[in-house]
Amino acid sequence: MRFTAAMIAALVAFSPLAHAQAPAPAAAPAPVPEVMPFDIPYGTPISMDAAHKAIQAAAAEAKKHNWKMSISVVDPAGNLVAHATMDGTQYASIPISQAKARTAALFRRPSGVFQAGVNGGSPATLSLLALNGGAASEGGFPIVIDGKLIGAIGASGGIFTQDAVTAKAGLDALGVK
């Protein structure tokens, strides 16, 4: 086949290179804060009795709504202190509730912060790929008493908003706001 000048012009006009956009200018660097975020000091790890109290309150909240939940409480280092799985809860929720609690304890912030980061889609959130053994999903919360991190609670079994309501009921039972 022989190409005419008109055919070559049409190929060039409709080629991907003809419509490629110039790279976006580099974003200005973010300001560096003087205060470290989430710098919560560690306290004496949560007791088994307090962990059970939080789990019982969380389970009671879940029962009110007929939600089947797995609920975990960990110490500040992310080690399991207490766990309960309600009858009929999907088995996959057991390690997820533990991961949510572990994330909240180790990073001293709610696991939902990571969910927001992942869903934000910014290239800056690629560092979340290094979240090893954690969960980037709402439903894990640090337990801070008298300004000190003593552990964390995590719940899984429903959608993330149900998990969060369940875990927060455990925080309320401990007087955490």
Confirm whether pTM is higher than 0.85: no
Q: Is domain 48-173 in CATH 2.102.10.10, yes or no?
A: no
Give the confidence band of 2 by pLDDT, cuts at 50, 70, 90. Answer: low
- pLDDT per position as a tens digit, 100-122: 999 999 989 888 887 777 777 66
Q: Give SS3 for 42.
A: strand
pLDDT at position 45 over 90: yes
Ordered by start, the domain boundaries in the chain are 48-173
> Where does 65-145 have alpha helices with state H?
93-106, 112-120
Chain segment 64-82, per-residue pLDDT in tens: 999 999 999 999 999 999 9
Mean pLDDT of the region 165-176: 96
Instruction: List the structure tokens of 110.
Output: 């709610």
DSSP string, 137-153: SS-EEEEEETTEEEEEE
Mean pLDDT of 113-134: 70
pLDDT of residue 38: 84
Task: Provide the angle, in degrees to the nearest 10, between the axes of the packed helices 160-173 and 48-64.
Answer: 130
Q: Which helix (H) or strand (E) holds 117?
A: helix 112-120
